[in-house]
Amino acid sequence: VCRNPKAVKKQQGIYIDPSPPTVGAVNVSDLVELAVNPEKWTSSLVINFLPDTGADLDAIPESLYKWKFSKVALQKGVQPVTAVGSPIINIGVFSAVIVWTTRDKVSRSVNTAIHVLRELKQPVLSKRSQQTLGMLPAAYPHAYVGMVASKPPTDRQRQADLKTLMNECPRIFDGTCHQMSGPPCHFQLMENSQPLAMRGSCPISVL
């Protein structure tokens, strides 16, 4: 074993964690998990879709179709084009139910036609499906979803509400037990009955 007389400078490495992570040019945080259940299938497959408000069609890449849905028969589809008018090769279309489960575990579904497009990079969810699933308001882009905020009442408001309630029903909150109007409450046991316990009623005055 030989010792190197010269000190070797220790190499240092720098690791850069991309933030946010991306798939191609799409942020992973922009994708949404959807369960796709093709017609006549008894099970569904979970696929990451990109919600696209500019898309008129629900679509998946041809490569994904061959990998996951190759047993699904395709029908002839329409001829889609890009935003600049360039034609897109449509391999075919199949009917399916798309199910979206929200963070609060509420499931919403939409019946749609999924187009299989050549050279598509990412499964795309159309604006219509987003509106049906509740991801977008029905009047989008002419309406917005406001935030619901809860503001607790102040001590002054609590006292005012309590006073109003006591003024409406003064005999309930005056601290005195009042006898209820009307005839007394009578219990009559059926023949040969054997009660385990007998308790009287507790009338509460509401007048």
CATH, residue 60:
2.40.70.10
Domain assignment of residue 119, yes or no: yes
Domain of 59? 22-133
Instruction: Count how many domains the chain has.
Output: 1
Domain assignment of residue 114, yes or no: yes
pTM confidence score: 0.58
Domain assignment of residue 85, yes or no: yes
Domain assignment of residue 74, yes or no: yes
What is the C-alpha separation between 55 and 124, in angstroms, rounded?
7
Tell me the residue ranges of DSSP E strands in the chain: 22-23, 26-27, 32-38, 45-51, 58-61, 90-101, 107-117, 124-125
The one-digit pLDDT tens for each residue of the chain (207 residues) are 344 445 445 445 444 445 445 444 556 778 999 999 999 898 899 999 999 988 899 999 999 999 999 999 999 988 888 877 888 899 999 999 999 998 888 899 999 999 999 989 999 999 999 999 988 888 888 877 676 667 788 899 999 988 888 887 777 767 777 777 778 777 777 788 876 776 666 666 555
Domain assignment of residue 64, yes or no: yes
